[in-house]
Amino acid sequence: MPENINEILEQSINELLMWVGFGTLVGLAAKAIMPGRDPGGAVATMLMGIGGSVIGCGIVLFFVEGARLTPISSMGFVAATGGAFIILFFYRLMSGSFFAESEDGDRYIHRRSRRRRRRTLVRD
Residue 107 has pLDDT above 80, yes or no: no
Task: Look up the domain containing 60 and give its range.
Answer: 5-95
Helix, strand, or coil here: 91? helix
Give the mean model confidence (pLDDT) for residues 45-67: 86
**79 within 8 A of 22, measured Cβ to Cβ:** no
Give the list of residues 6+ apart from residue 80 with CB closer than 8 angstroms, or none: 22, 26, 49, 52, 53, 56, 57, 71
Within a domain: 20:
yes
Within a domain: 100:
no
Within a domain: 123:
no
Within a domain: 120:
no
Q: For 3-50, what is each residue's pLDDT tens digit?
A: 788 888 998 888 888 888 888 888 888 888 887 777 677 788 888 888
Within a domain: 35:
yes
What is residue 1's predicted lDDT score, i.e. its pLDDT?
Answer: 47
More confident residue, 90 or 114: 90
More confident residue, 26 or 120: 26
Number of structural domains found in the chain: 1
Which ranges constitute the DSSP H helices of 96-122? none
Residue 77 has pLDDT above 50, yes or no: yes
Within a domain: 103:
no
